[in-house]
Structure 1
């Protein structure tokens, strides 16, 4: 495999600037920064507009308690009420305690299932329609608050927002602040919101692959519908580690397995992933100490490669721990799919492959906000 484009980003240790005092929760100061309590007050505060809303969407009650006009953008605060019982049921099902409230305590499939089931986990993409013209959001802040949950690190910001708007303290809340930039400040005569949720991802039953010709029955964990996966090819591969960004200071895993397959019948949104996480990058030993320098641990990479001889394009997506996931799009035969394992230092065969079923579509709704007299 050969890199045709590459990029690199380094995550440096975070340090508060000199003189940083933190947010002042006693002052309600709305700006276009997207923060609930911005530290900087250089921007003039927004003016609250006489719009609000309450509606039902995706099985929950929603509130729009505050809309603000700033010089740079429209700012909308959005709240989703989450029943306390739903939160408690989720905690009980997964036996979440102070000791095991960590992603390392759960497998990849479990974490994916938890994310899909978590009543406090919902990705929403809003669009504001101002005087009939759409304005997509560009940035924002999201958090949750539940006064009845005793969990360390409770968000003081969430508590301050909930108290400012007088939200019910007997339930849970998702709190978002969305920023919709506009060219210049507008007089808002009509205002509505379009909400679009992301498609949930559901893990199926892990399986193993040994050779071409194998067939595996895959069952959708929610609908019970089944399909048959046929392995066409199964082989090991490697990336050219000399071309990986950041290799001067870091060693990146570059060994992987891949297999091509067909699915009958085709299932939209089905992908096959490595059932386990890959190896993390490790710092190269320093000549003078023989030990790696971890001062900048958390390098992030992103690259795109081509695979020969197939007419396909591959994307490698990197997070804080380096290249972690690989995806392929086949430009000649859309019915031919390719799955890649996570990257590892050794040529280890994956313990299991994980089928992932993505919902066909998210939920969408349009809601007109009422203008107060």
Structure 2
């Protein structure tokens, strides 16, 4: 094992939040080079990271979903530099994809994908436990390495040189195993794969046909695969309505409100929560994952391999779309229970639906709107509306100047809705201004508007609820986007409904 990697593993840092899962089941792909020692996986599209015998300590990325000859690229001279690149970029995704970008595209990706709090914690651990600083010019470093590298020196197995093996259709699926602490891309830890319990349970619910082909009994709990079938015609209609193709499938091409509407209308996007009743004990899901298969993808776009392998393994009809959700249910007992009876309860989770826009000017102003599902007409009445500011020191940073001006509005809803109805500003917050560059900070940090509004609420325009003395007097509150100057004009607000359409239902499984 590489000595720096061994030292790093001894520190006990989990790299999965920054896109590198350290696993033991390192199954090679057709394009994994000869002599490769795989140490990490990106958790998507089979992307993995390795050392190659004969190339010293150099770190390579391998991406089976790329096209020939771009499967393998060097990304770091050694594992130390690999960690420093992650510190600079905040996630391994930019490091792995840098080969196909120019510097402007690389920087844009970093700015559009700021690090999460969990990632920041991981980056701090790496820096402290390995005594490392971020790479100063990550894109230049990677480009210089790749431009001077002789790719002809990499040797592959016979599978790679077989032309048929370089097509998506001929990639060989790895052995099918399901783990309690795993997903469709592999697993963590040393636990054994679960024992398959064939079910082939089918039912209709929430406008979809569902298949539960199998469950997997593991030492820690039960793992269940839920296969949701989607009519291909509904997928085509959705793609046609929003003009989705390989050139027009980026979030950048749609407003936040359009994205919300698209998520609600997307037939491949349905949020649900399963609950099991094993014998007489309720089992709740604690974690899970999902892959989707779209039979209507345009030319040049392909489904991820793990989705195709799941479709093939379960013998699902590939003329339909499928969403395969894998949920994990801990036993909740010290001993593995015997499965005598098993019932499943399916419950839809609320989805956000954008509603009407409106403007109000003063207390007493009102606005009427209808709920998209119930049809009930509600009246929003303003109680207070005023300019307010957030203290600059609330942001906890001397590196940036943040916008601090916003409009605060309190209001009542009549009748009070059964489901949550929120009010958001249609505008976005001004971006903070960097005044003190920090060469040793982890990138990227708070360059988008979604970070500043978090001080007074959520990323989409904060809301809060204050309860009065009885149910008829609930007072709701909304805050506008943040701006550097006081808001001069009336804010354009947007109603957002949190909607569920279907009742929960229970089905016998065993």
Q: Tell me the TM-score normalised to structure 1 length.
A: 0.80
Pick from 39, 42, 53: which aligns with 1:19?
39
Q: Which ranges of structure 2 fall in alignment gaps of 5 or more residues?
A: 1-15, 23-37, 47-171
Which stretch has the larger CA shift, 342-351 or 162-171? 342-351
Aligned residue in 2 for 1:160: 309
Residue 172 of structure 1: how far off its partner (Å): 0.1
Q: Which shifted more, 262-271 or 132-141?
A: 262-271
Determine which of 244, 251, 257 is the counterpart of 1:96: 244
Match of 2:507 among 355, 364, 367: 367
Q: TM-score, normalised by structure 2?
A: 0.60
Q: Is the 8 A contact 1:87 1:120 kept in 2?
A: yes
Work out the CA distance in 2 between the residues paired with 1:118 and 1:50.
30
Residue of structure 2 in register with 1:234 after alignment: 385
Cα offsets for 1:271-330 (capped at 9, x unmatched):
21112333455555227x8xx96724369979999xxxxxxxxx734xxxxx55423221
Greater RCO structure (CA 8 Å; 6+ sep): 1
Structure-2 residue corresponding to 1:5: none
TM-aligned CA distance change 1:143 to 1:279, over 3 Å:
farther
Q: Would you say 1:316 and 2:457 are equivalent positions?
A: yes
- The structure with the larger Rg is 2
Structure with bigger helix share is: 2
Give, in whole Å, the separation in 1 of the partners of 2:324 and 2:457. 33
The answer to whether the 8 A contact 1:108-1:276 is kept is: no
User: In 1, Cα distance between the equivalents of 2:254 and 2:385?
Assistant: 28
Distance 1:38 1:15 in 2: 12
Q: Structure 1 unaligned runs (5+)?
A: 1-10, 306-314, 318-322
State the Cα distance separating 1:263 from its structure 2 match. Answer: 2.7
Alignment length (residue pairs): 342
Range that drifts further, 42-51 or 273-282: 273-282
Which deviates further from its counterpart, 172-181 or 330-339? 330-339
Instruction: Report the alpha carbon displacement of residue 153 of structure 1 after superposing the two structures with TM.
Output: 5.7
**Is 1:356 paired with 2:499?**
no
Greater Cα offset, 52-61 or 36-45: 36-45
- Find the aligned partners of 1:248 and 1:362 in 2 and give their Cα distance: 49
| More displaced 10-residue stretch of structure 1: 261-270 or 174-183 | 261-270
Q: Is the 8 A contact 1:34 1:139 kept in 2?
A: no
Report the alpha carbon displacement of residue 360 of structure 1 after superposing the two structures with TM.
6.0
The separation in 2 between residues aligned to 1:232 and 1:77, in whole angstroms, is: 49
Structure (1 or 2) with the greater strand fraction: 1
Query: Structure 2: how far apart are the matches of 1:360 and 1:153?
Result: 32
1:199-214 superposed matches below 5 A: 199-214=350-365
Q: Which residue of 2 aligns with 1:258?
A: 408
Match of 1:63 among 211, 215, 222: 211
